[in-house]
């Protein structure tokens, strides 16, 4: 009988293995305290107990989502291997598998769930009663935690996560796909490895996501990065002459956006090539209010999402 997968990877182990040393280990750096570092086996990195576990009405645990994610990872990483190691063209199905892998990785981590908690709470403070139905009860999919705050039920969050990933996949499948290769193995990754970027000149007041990004970056291993973009010229900024600085820039973007952890190959230290800024807020709210909501307009004190 197959054992229950209680410890679940927020970043797939097969993906992290691409950054591991010959002993299957990665260096893990705390985003909040970069001096805190440890070297662990890939199987022990980026895990969270029952993060994707569902429950039926009888209270029994169900692992259908965790196993479905394993299928997404398996198909996507096999296509990545063909792209990177075999240097063979991708079939339509393989290209779709990579887009699906990227889409789910964009929304499956702690940051999105924790931001949902903060956002639900701030909406209640902005508009008291906004989450109540006609009977004065919280609308379906929300709950009130021990601190009296409104937040999404974890199972509701998982449903939103899947629907969001499918929407992102439909965007990415229309994009150009390009593999960038680097001469030196210096790229790192994090628990938020999919990053959306804009070319110079866009308004910083706009949010950036897969639908309006100029490029979507996904480091694949220390020597290669996937770029998805609506522009056929995506990645043309990379040249032999600027590879070193480009590596520093990519690492800074990916490391700065990390939520809890940064990962790279043991024996290397790509973080020493740039200054890592302190963690930022989960959500920025521009309103004439003094919000006492953890993670709104300031870094969250409580970083881990609440358990079920």
Q: How far apart are CA 167 and CA 99, in angstroms?
A: 11
Q: What is the DSSP letter of 17?
A: G
Strands across the sheet containing 189-190: 37-41, 25-30, 261-264, 189-190
Q: How far apart are CA 226 and CA 181, in angstroms?
A: 9
Q: Are 93 and 80 in contact (CB under 8 A)?
A: no
pLDDT (tens place) for every residue of the chain, 308 residues total:
456 677 888 999 999 999 999 999 999 999 999 999 999 999 999 998 888 887 765 555 678 888 889 999 999 999 999 999 877 789 999 999 999 999 999 999 999 888 888 878 777 777 777 777 777 777 777 777 777 777 777 777 788 899 999 999 999 999 999 999 999 999 999 999 999 999 886 655 567 899 999 999 999 999 999 999 999 999 999 999 999 999 999 999 999 999 999 999 999 999 999 999 999 888 777 765 656 777 778 888 877 776 65
Q: For residue 195, give the 3-state DSSP assignment.
A: strand
Q: How far apart are CA 67 and CA 73, in angstroms?
A: 10
Q: How far apart are CA 105 and CA 101, in angstroms?
A: 6
DSSP H or E run through 122: helix 110-126
pLDDT of residue 142: 75
Residue written as token pair 């706009």: 206
Token pair of 5 as six digits: 């997968």
pLDDT of residue 141: 73
Q: How far apart are CA 178 and CA 216, in angstroms?
A: 10
| Buried-state track 198-219, b at ≥16 Cβ within 10 A, e below 16 | eeeeeeeeeeeebeebbbbbbb
For the entire predicted model, the pTM comes to: 0.90
Cα dist. 284→155, 197, 258, 293, 295 in Å? 25, 18, 17, 11, 9
Q: Residue 189, class by beta-carbon neighbours within 10 Å (0-12 exposed, 13-18 middle, 19+ buried)?
A: buried
Q: How far apart are CA 24 and CA 43, in angstroms?
A: 9
Q: How far apart are CA 262 and CA 36, in angstroms?
A: 11
Handedness of CA 210, 214, 219, 220 (dihedral sign): positive
pLDDT of residue 61: 62
Cα dist. 240→38, 163, 236 in Å? 33, 40, 11
Q: Where are the domains of the chain?
A: 7-273
């Amino acid at each position: 009988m197959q054992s229950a997968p209680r410890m679940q990877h927020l970043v797939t182990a097969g993906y992290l293995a691409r950054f591991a040393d010959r002993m299957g280990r990665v260096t893990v750096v705390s985003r909040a305290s970069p001096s805190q570092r440890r070297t662990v086996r890939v199987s022990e990195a980026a895990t969270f107990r029952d993060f994707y576990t569902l429950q039926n009405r009888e209270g029994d645990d169900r692992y259908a989502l965790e196993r479905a994610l394993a299928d997404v990872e398996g198909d996507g990483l096999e296509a990545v291997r063909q792209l990177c190691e075999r240097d063979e063209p991708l079939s339509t199905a393989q290209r779709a598998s990579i887009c699906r892998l990227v889409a789910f990785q964009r929304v499956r981590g702690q940051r999105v769930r924790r931001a949902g908690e903060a956002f639900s709470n701030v909406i209640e403070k902005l508009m008291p009663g906004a989450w109540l139905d006609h009977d004065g009860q919280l609308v379906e999919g929300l709950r009130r935690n021990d601190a009296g705050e409104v937040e999404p039920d974890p199972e509701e969050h998982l449903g939103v996560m899947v629907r969001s990933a499918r929407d992102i996949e439909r965007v990415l499948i229309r994009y150009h796909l390009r593999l960038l290769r680097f001469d030196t193995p210096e790229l790192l990754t994090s628990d938020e490895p999919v990053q959306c970027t804009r070319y110079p000149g866009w308004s910083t007041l706009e949010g950036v996501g897969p639908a309006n990004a100029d490029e979507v970056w996904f480091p694949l291993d220390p020597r290669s990065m996937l770029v998805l973009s609506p522009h056929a010229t995506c990645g043309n900024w990379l040249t032999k002459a600027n590879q070193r600085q480009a590596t520093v820039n990519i690492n800074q973007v990916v490391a700065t956006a990390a939520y809890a952890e940064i990962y790279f190959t043991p024996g290397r230290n790509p973080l020493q090539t740039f200054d890592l800024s302190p963690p930022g807020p989960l959500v920025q709210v521009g309103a004439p209010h003094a919000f006492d909501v953890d993670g709104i307009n300031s870094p969250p004190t409580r970083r881990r999402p609440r358990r079920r």
